[in-house]
Amino acid sequence: MNEVIIATKNSGKAKEFIQMFESYGITVKTLIDYPELPDVEETGETFAENALLKAESAARLTGRPAIADDSGLVIDALDGRPGVYSARYAGIDKDDKANNRKVLKEMAEVVDDQRSARFKCVLAVSFPDDRESIIVEGDCEGRIAYEESGTNGFGYDPLFIPEGFDQTMAQLEPNMKNEISHRAKALRKLQVSLTELDGGMK
């Protein structure tokens, strides 16, 4: 595998994937490089279903192996919300600030020991031939802060304090985030499974 399509137009996610794959000498392209491709409607009820929808569509339309992720924030005190609706939690438009404001409002009365949460990532790899798709997942446990802090991340990063840290994900250096993030953990699992792809990633 010397080229892979990352089925996202999210520049933040794209940057993380590029950083993760560059040490393997693998060229990364994203849906930003294929503006003619239609958006895939995320109609799944789980992270895995949505990741598969996106990966299978990208592989079929580009003729290349494609990786898609569906990820989000799962908050225990909110019965798992925002979950699969993380990107559009505050409305149909993807608005990180509005999403964060909504979460903070809903968590305003939640005490310290009940603010547990996790970032969850499901990665799906699909192929343009008849090989079966691969699915792996990774979690990053932590808790919800009382206010936004940090500028290094995107999405809910300014609200999420990873387990073992006193800083939010958005306050951590990118290299550290890429060590502990849900996406990094899922990718490490994926590396074990990619032996089917031209000998896999060495």
Annotated binding site: 8-13, 41, 70-71, 154-157, 177, 182-183
158 contacts 200 by C-beta, under 8 angstroms: no
Domain residue limits at 169: 3-196
Q: What is the pLDDT of residues 138-193, one digit of tens each?
A: 999 999 999 999 998 889 999 999 999 999 999 999 889 888 999 889 988 887 77
101 within some domain: yes
pLDDT at 198: 53
171 within some domain: yes
185 within some domain: yes
Catalytic residues: 70
41 contacts 50 by C-beta, under 8 angstroms: no
Nearest-angstrom CA–CA distance, 167 and 185:
19
Nearest-angstrom CA–CA distance, 38 and 46:
21
Q: How many domains does the chain have?
A: 1
Largest CA distance in the chain: 52
Tokens of 196: 């089917």
Beta bridge partners of 5: 29, 66
197 contacts 182 by C-beta, under 8 angstroms: no
159 contacts 117 by C-beta, under 8 angstroms: no
pLDDT at 123: 94
138 within some domain: yes
pLDDT at 200: 47
202 within some domain: no
Nearest-angstrom CA–CA distance, 164 and 161:
8
201 within some domain: no
pLDDT at 104: 98
60 within some domain: yes
The DSSP H or E segment spanning 14 is: helix 11-21
Please report, for the domain that includes residue 151, its CATH number: 3.90.950.10
pLDDT along the chain (202 residues), means of 10: 84 77 81 87 91 94 92 97 94 90 97 97 92 94 97 93 97 90 89 61 47
pLDDT at 116: 98
Nearest-angstrom CA–CA distance, 67 and 65:
7
81 within some domain: yes
Nearest-angstrom CA–CA distance, 77 and 107:
8
